[in-house]
Chain A
Amino acid sequence: LAKTTQPISMDSYEGQEVNITCSHNNIATNDYITWYQQFPSQGPRFIIQGYKTKVTNEVASLFIPADRKSSTLSLPRVSLSDTAVYYCLVDNDYKLSFGAGTTVTVRA
């Protein structure tokens, strides 16, 4: 049973806000929600992590509702360089289990 479900792909335009929602209906009490970004032929890069409510850093925001069964990664004002695969991970284990991710394509 997949731990997370996220859209396979999303298209956007420069300057827009991109919101990627991830479903994790079976999240456990001690699971954290973590998002990574990966460019072609590069290693994944940590974006943001949260447990509940809202977390914001310099690159993204993460919204987690009270039931924690889903989360939304928000990328404000995307640029062409934000074109990448975005992974939602839910785990309390130190090894990371990556799914297929969401391929975000930003167009001019």
Chain B
Amino acid sequence: EPEVTQTPSHQVTQMGQEVILRCVPISNHLYFYWYRQILGQKVEFLVSFYNNEISEKSEIFDDQFSVERPDGSNFTLKIRSTKLEDSAMYFCASRLGRMEGGNEQYFGPGTRLTVT
């Protein structure tokens, strides 16, 4: 069964450093998402991406965040200058498309980001 993959599984960085979290969505999917989950809290939507542009973003997704699909397979989340409160599990998800597969989103295993 195809799956979403994410690298690295765990990233430790110092406050103020830039990090790039990488995701490989399922190959024929068209919609891509990033979510985050702070330890013990609920899963929060960050951003959705379709047709090479951001389609929606949350209040969390400020100017420190950016997303990119640099080639036909990777989907990245960059945090320019990390803060302690960015420590969380970051999940990438992808979706086939509304007409063909409904709203089912496939999530990756996550990247645990620890900012010290």
- Contact check, A99 vs B42: say whether CB atoms are below 8 A apart: yes
Taking Cβ atoms with an 8 Å cutoff, the residues of A that contact B are 32, 34, 38, 41-46, 49, 87, 91, 94-101
Least CB separation from B95: chain A residue: A94
Instruction: Decide yes or no: A44 and B43 within 8 Å by CB, A94-B48, A96-B35 being known contacts.
Output: yes
Assess whether A96 is in contact with B45, with CB atoms less than 8 Å apart: yes
Is chain A's interface secondary structure helix, strand, loop, or mixed overall? loop
User: Given B55, B89, B106, which contacts A46 in the complex, CB threshold below 8 Å?
Assistant: B106
Whether A95 and B45, one on each chain, are in contact in the complex, defined by CB atoms closer than 8 angstroms, is yes
- Could you say which of B11-19, B68-76, B78-86, B107-115 contacts chain A? B107-115
Instruction: Kindly name the residue among A38, A95, A97, A100 whose own CB sees the greatest number of chain B CB atoms within 10 A.
Output: A95
Of A45, A46, A99, chain B has the most CB atoms within 10 Å of the CB of A46
